[in-house]
C-alpha cells in the first residue's frame, strides 16, 4: 500500500471523518459519566452517615425520655430503698440494655437497703444532673464485656420542684452496635464509631484491633463541627480509602464510614476501561472497514484471475457477483455466463456417473443379500436332512425302550421308591421323544396353508398366552399397532409360532423386568406401489453380542443354557416361506429389536423393497 495509492487516501479519509469526532465524543462522554459516578459514590457515603446519625440521635432521645419518665415516677421520688430497688429491678428485667439503675440522695449516697458507704457527690454525672437536670456522658468501651456503654443521669425533684436526688443509668449501646454492624458497603466498606480523640468505641473487629495495639484513628485535628467531611486518605491499616465522617454532638463521638478506593471507584474505573476498549475496537473496525471498501474497488481483477485458475483445475462451483456497469463488470458477467455453461455440462456428466454408481451399489447389495439367503437355505436343508436321519435312528430304539419299561412295570411288583424311578424314566423318555419330534418338524417343515389373516390378532393372541409370565417377571408393555391394517395371506398356525417364539425370547432376555415394546407400521415402495406390514418386537435386555449376530438364525446355535437352538431357525424358515423378511438390531446393555416384514399380497418382489430401503 503506497503513500499516493487510492487505498491510502480512502483510509485517511475514514480516519479523519470518523475517528476524530468519535474520539472526542467518547472522551467527553467518559469524563462526564466518570464525574457523575464519583459524585454518586460520595453522595452514597454521605447518605449512609446521615441515616445512621439520625437513628443514633433518635435512640439517644428515647433513652433520655425513658430516664426522665423513671425520674418522675413516684417509686423513685419516694427515695424508699425497698420500694425503689423493687421498681428498678422490675425495669431492668424488662429492659436488658440497662446495665445499672441507681438512685442517689442529695448527699450523693445511693438509696439502698444496704448501708451506703460512699458518696458520689463530686462525680461529673452527679454534678451535671444537679446543675442542668440532665447529664449525658461520652460513649466508653467496657473491656470485660467487650461492649460500648453510655452513662445518663437525671435530677429527681419533689412536687415543689426542689431537687431531692439523682437517677443514674448505665446503658449498653447494643442497639447502636447492631445498627453499625448491619451497614453493608461492598466487600471492604465498614462503619464504626470513635470518641472525640479518635479512640474506637464501636467496631466489628474491635477485639482484633485491640490485640494488634490499634486503639483508634489519628484523623481528627481542630474543633469538631457538624458538617460531613469526605476525602481520600490512608486509614488506620495503611490502605487508601474513601472516607466520610460526621460529629455527633449529643453522643460526643464521630461516626465514620470507609471503603477501599479500588472498590469505591470500581464502576468508574470499569467505565474508563470499557470506553477505552470500545474505542480501540471501533478504531480497528474502522481500519478494517476502510480496507474492505478499498478492496471492493481494487480486488475484482485479482479475484477474476483466481477464479480462472480454479476453473482450470476443474472446480466450477465458484462464480463472481458484481453490480458494476463498467468494463470490469461486463468482463465478470461474461465470465459468469461461461462458468454456468461449463458447470451445467459438468453437473450432467457427474450426475450420470453418480446414477451408475448408485445402481451398481444397489445391485451389489441385493446380490449379497440373495447370496446370504441362499447359503442359509442350503445350510438349513443340509442340517434338516442330517437331523431327520439322527431323529429316526434315535426314535426307533427309544420306542422299544419305552414299551419294555411299560411291560416290566406291569410284570413285577414295585415298591414306592422303584415306582418313582420308573416314572422318572418314562418322563425323560417322553422329553427325548418331544425333542426328536421337534427335530423332525425342523427337518420336514409343513408347507404353509395360505388364507386371509390379521397379523395384529395373532400377535395379541400370542401375547395373551404369555400374560402370566409377563406379570411374574414384572415387564411393562408398550403396544402401538397400526390401525386399519389390511389382511394378508398367511398360515395362522405357523405365524402364531413365529410371534410366540419372538415374544418368549424377548421376555427371557429380561429376567429382572424391563419394557417390552410392540409396534407395527405400513411401508410402501413408491415405484411399484407395493405395501408391507412391518412388526417390531423390542426388549430392554442386555443385548446380543456383535460376534453372535451373524449366527442367530443358524440351526442349533443358542446362548441359553437349556436351549436347542432351533427356535429362531424355525422362525426364519416360516418367514421365508411367507415371502417375508426378518432383521435384528441390538445394542449392548440397551436391548434388542426383531423386525419382521410381510407383504400384504402373497407374491412380492423383495428386490424392490431392498432397493427402496437403500434409497
Question: Residues 476-530: pLDDT tens digits?
Answer: 999 998 877 778 889 999 899 899 989 999 998 999 999 999 999 988 766 556 7
Closest C-alpha to 389, from 445, 444, 433: 444
Q: Residue 269: inside a domain, yes or no?
A: no
CATH number at residue 510: 3.30.565.10
For 490, the domain range is 448-614
Q: How many domains does the chain have?
A: 1
Q: Residue 149: inside a domain, yes or no?
A: no
Helices 455-465 & 492-508, crossing angle to 10 degrees? 50
Question: Residues 544-602: pLDDT tens digits?
Answer: 898 888 888 777 777 776 666 777 888 888 888 888 888 999 999 899 999 999 988 64
pLDDT exceeds 60 at position 5: no
d(CA 34, CA 26): 12
* HSE, side-chain direction, 13 A CA sphere, residue 213: 0
303: Cβ contacts below 8 Å, ≥ 6 apart: 320
Reported in sequence order, the residue ranges of 543-603 that DSSP labels E, i.e. its strands, are: 581-587, 591-599
Q: Residue 506: inside a domain, yes or no?
A: yes
120: Cβ contacts below 8 Å, ≥ 6 apart: 104, 108, 109, 110, 126
Higher per-residue pLDDT: 76 or 268: 76
Band (pLDDT 50/70/90 cuts) for residue 154 is very high
Residue 615: what pLDDT?
38
Question: Residues 30-79: pLDDT tens digits?
Answer: 677 767 777 777 788 888 888 888 888 898 898 899 989 998 999 888 88
Q: Residue 523: inside a domain, yes or no?
A: yes
Residue 606: what pLDDT?
40
Longest dimension (CA), the chain: 142
In percent, how much of the chain has pLDDT > 90?
13
> Burial, 412: exposed, middle or buried (Cβ in 10 Å; 0-12, 13-18, 19+)?
exposed
Band (pLDDT 50/70/90 cuts) for residue 274 is confident
d(CA 479, CA 555): 30
Computed over every residue of the chain, the mean pLDDT equals 79
Backbone angles phi, psi at 590, to 5 degrees: -125, -25
d(CA 380, CA 553): 10
Residue 605: what pLDDT?
40
What are the start-end ranges of the H helices in 315-415?
327-411
DSSP 364-378: HHHHHHHHHHHHHHH
d(CA 61, CA 168): 16
Question: Residues 447-479: pLDDT tens digits?
Answer: 888 899 988 999 999 899 899 889 999 999 999
Q: Residue 505: inside a domain, yes or no?
A: yes
d(CA 46, CA 6): 59
Reported in sequence order, the residue ranges of 206-341 that DSSP labels E, i.e. its strands, are: 229-234, 240-248, 253-260
Residue 227: what pLDDT?
63
d(CA 171, CA 151): 6
Output the nine-digit C-alpha cell for 239.
490502605
Output the nine-digit C-alpha cell for 333.
458477467
Mean pLDDT of 266-292: 76
Cα angle: 601, vertex 606, 609; to 5 degrees: 95
Residue 156: what pLDDT?
92
d(CA 198, CA 200): 6
d(CA 1, CA 7): 7
The owner of cell 470490469 is 328
d(CA 123, CA 142): 19
d(CA 480, CA 535): 10
Q: Residue 406: inside a domain, yes or no?
A: no
CA separation (Å) from 164 to 105, 110, 113, 114, 161? 6, 12, 18, 20, 9
pTM (2 d.p.): 0.43
Question: Residues 158-211: pLDDT tens digits?
Answer: 888 899 999 999 898 888 888 888 878 788 888 888 887 788 888 888 788 878
DSSP 488-512: EEE-HHHHHHHHHHHHHHHHHT-TT
d(CA 540, CA 546): 16
Closest C-alpha to 539, from 485, 475, 487: 475
251: Cβ contacts below 8 Å, ≥ 6 apart: 56, 57, 60, 136, 138, 139, 150
Mean pLDDT of 235-245: 83
State CA 458 to chain mean position distance: 47
Residue 219: what pLDDT?
73
Closest C-alpha to 555, from 544, 563, 543: 563
d(CA 590, CA 542): 6
Q: Flag the least confident range among 124-133, 351-360, 364-373, 489-498.
A: 364-373
Q: Residue 315: inside a domain, yes or no?
A: no
Q: Residue 560: inside a domain, yes or no?
A: yes
> Burial, 408: exposed, middle or buried (Cβ in 10 Å; 0-12, 13-18, 19+)?
exposed
Sheet hosting strand 229-234, strand order edge to edge: 200-202, 190-195, 253-260, 240-248, 229-234
CA separation (Å) from 531 to 161, 449, 584, 608? 118, 22, 21, 11
Contact predicate 537/594, CB 8 Å:
yes
Beta bridge partners of 508: none
Residue 366: what pLDDT?
67
Closest C-alpha to 168, from 118, 129, 112, 116: 129
Residue 607: what pLDDT?
40
pLDDT exceeds 50 at position 609: no
pLDDT exceeds 80 at position 90: yes
> Burial, 117: exposed, middle or buried (Cβ in 10 Å; 0-12, 13-18, 19+)?
exposed
Is 50 in a helix, a strand, or coil?
helix
Amino acid at each position: 500500500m503506497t503513500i499516493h495509492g487510492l487505498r491510502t487516501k480512502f483510509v485517511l479519509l475514514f480516519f479523519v471523518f470518523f475517528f476524530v469526532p468519535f474520539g472526542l465524543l467518547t472522551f467527553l462522554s467518559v469524563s462526564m459519566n466518570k464525574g457523575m459516578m464519583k459524585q454518586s459514590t460520595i453522595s452514597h457515603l454521605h447518605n449512609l452517615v446521615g441515616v445512621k446519625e439520625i437513628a443514633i440521635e433518635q435512640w439517644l432521645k428515647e433513652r433520655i425520655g425513658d430516664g426522665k419518665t423513671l425520674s418522675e415516677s413516684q417509686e423513685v421520688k419516694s427515695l424508699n430503698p425497698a420500694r425503689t430497688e423493687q421498681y428498678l429491678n422490675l425495669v431492668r428485667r424488662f429492659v436488658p440494655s440497662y446495665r445499672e439503675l441507681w438512685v442517689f440522695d442529695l448527699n450523693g449516697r445511693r438509696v439502698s437497703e444496704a448501708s451506703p458507704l460512699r458518696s458520689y457527690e463530686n462525680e461529673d454525672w452527679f454534678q451535671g444532673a444537679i446543675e442542668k437536670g440532665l447529664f449525658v456522658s461520652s460513649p466508653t468501651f467496657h473491656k470485660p464485656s467487650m461492649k460500648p456503654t453510655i452513662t445518663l443521669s437525671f435530677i429527681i425533684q419533689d412536687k415543689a420542684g426542689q431537687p431531692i436526688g439523682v437517677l443514674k443509668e448505665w446503658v449498653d449501646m447494643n442497639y447502636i452496635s447492631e445498627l453499625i454492624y448491619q451497614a453493608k458497603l461492598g466487600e471492604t466498606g465498614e462503619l464504626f464509631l470513635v470518641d472525640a480523640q479518635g479512640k474506637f468505641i464501636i467496631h466489628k473487629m474491635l477485639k482484633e484491633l485491640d490485640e494488634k495495639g490499634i486503639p483508634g484513628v489519628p484523623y481528627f485535628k481542630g474543633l469538631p463541627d457538624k458538617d460531613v467531611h469526605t476525602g481520600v486518605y490512608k486509614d488506620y491499616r495503611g490502605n487508601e480509602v474513601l472516607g466520610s465522617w460526621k460529629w455527633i454532638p449529643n453522643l460526643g463521638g464521630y461516626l465514620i464510614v470507609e471503603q477501599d478506593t479500588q472498590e469505591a471507584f470500581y464502576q468508574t474505573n470499569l467505565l474508563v476501561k470499557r470506553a477505552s476498549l470500545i474505542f480501540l475496537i471501533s478504531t480497528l473496525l474502522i481500519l478494517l472497514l476502510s480496507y474492505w471498501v478499498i478492496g471492493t474497488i481494487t480486488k475484482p481483477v485479482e479475484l477474476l484471475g483466481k477464479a480462472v485458475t480454479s476453473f482450470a483445475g476443474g472446480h466450477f462451483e465458484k462464480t463472481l457477483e458484481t453490480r458494476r456497469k463498467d468494463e470490469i463488470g461486463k468482463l465478470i458477467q461474461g465470465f459468469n455466463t461461461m462458468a454456468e455453461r461449463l458447470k451445467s455440462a459438468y453437473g450432467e456428466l457427474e450426475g450420470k456417473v453418480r446414477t451408475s454408481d448408485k445402481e451398481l451399489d444397489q445391485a451389489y447389495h441385493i446380490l449379497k443379500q440373495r447370496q446370504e439367503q441362499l447359503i442359509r437355505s442350503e445350510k438349513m436343508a443340509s442340517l434338516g436332512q442330517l437331523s431327520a436321519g439322527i431323529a429316526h435312528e434315535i426314535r426307533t430304539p427309544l420306542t422299544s425302550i419305552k414299551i419294555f419299561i411299560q411291560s416290566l412295570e406291569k410284570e413285577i411288583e414295585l415298591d414306592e421308591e422303584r415306582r418313582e424311578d420308573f416314572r422318572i424314566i418314562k418322563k425323560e423318555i417322553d422329553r427325548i421323544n418331544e425333542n426328536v419330534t421337534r427335530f423332525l418338524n425342523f427337518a420336514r417343515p409343513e408347507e404353509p396353508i395360505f388364507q386371509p389373516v390379521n397379523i395384529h390378532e395373532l400377535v395379541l393372541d400370542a401375547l395373551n398366552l404369555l400374560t402370566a409370565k409377563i406379570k411374574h417377571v414384572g415387564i411393562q408393555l408398550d403396544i402401538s399397532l397400526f390401525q386399519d391394517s389390511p389382511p394378508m395371506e398367511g398360515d395362522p398356525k405357523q405365524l402364531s409360532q413365529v410371534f410366540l417364539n419372538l415374544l418368549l425370547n424377548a421376555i427371557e432376555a429380561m429376567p429382572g423386568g424391563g419394557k417390552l415394546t410392540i409396534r407395527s407400521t405400513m411401508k410402501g415402495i413408491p415405484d411399484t406401489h407395493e405395501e408391507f406390514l412391518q412388526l417390531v418386537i423390542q426388549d430392554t435386555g442386555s443385548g446380543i453380542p456383535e460376534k453372535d449376530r451373524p449366527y442367530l438364525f443358524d440351526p442349533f446355535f443358542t446362548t441359553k443354557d437349556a436351549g436347542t437352538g432351533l427356535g429362531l431357525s424355525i422362525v426364519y424358515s416360516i418367514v421365508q416361506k411367507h415371502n417375508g423378511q426378518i432383521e435384528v438390531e441390538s445394542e449392548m446393555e440397551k436391548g434388542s429389536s426383531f423386525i419382521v416384514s410381510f407383504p400384504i399380497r402373497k407374491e412380492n418382489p423383495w428386490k424392490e423393497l431392498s432397493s427402496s430401503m437403500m434409497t
